[in-house]
Amino acid sequence: MANIYIKETKAKGRGVFTKRRLAAGTVVETAPVIVMSAEDRMQLDKTLLHDYIFEWEPDGVKMCCMALGIVSIFNHSYESNCEYFMNYEEETMQVVTIRDIDAGEELTINYNGDWDDKKKLWFEAV
């Protein structure tokens, strides 16, 4: 999406922002993913990539994936303005706005999976 850009934030590192107002229900990105096994995940958990992979569980089979594009740059918020969805058949992730978002606002997702999940994360959330 041409109206999306990445910039440095004060507290969270790089983040994803919008140049124009986005209505609720806007697809921000549909990104292909690289699916990896549970064994691969154990290795990735020992690297910096641990913070950029997502759980991938088609039919309850625990794996992980690396989203290409900008999905892995979205910062976490317990009050996120976007939600992500897995398409196991097409091996993609889609980020969709869940409310209207103003120009210049940071786009965030909840790393717990559901936009309103308040479960404590593996790191101290800012």
Per residue in 57-90, pLDDT (tens digit) is 998 889 999 999 999 899 888 888 999 999 999 9
pLDDT of residue 114: 57
pLDDT of residue 125: 47
Instruction: Give the pLDDT confidence of 29-57 residue by residue, as tens digits.
Output: 999 999 999 899 888 888 878 777 888 99
Nearest to 82 by CA among 94, 100, 72, 97: 97
Centre a 10 Å sphere on the Cβ of residue 41 and count the other Cβ atoms it contains.
18
Binned at pLDDT 50, 70 and 90, residue 115 comes out as low
Mean pLDDT of 14-25: 96
Q: What gap in Å lies between CA 117 and CA 52, rounded to an integer?
A: 19
* Backbone φ, ψ for residue 116 (5° rounding): -110, 15
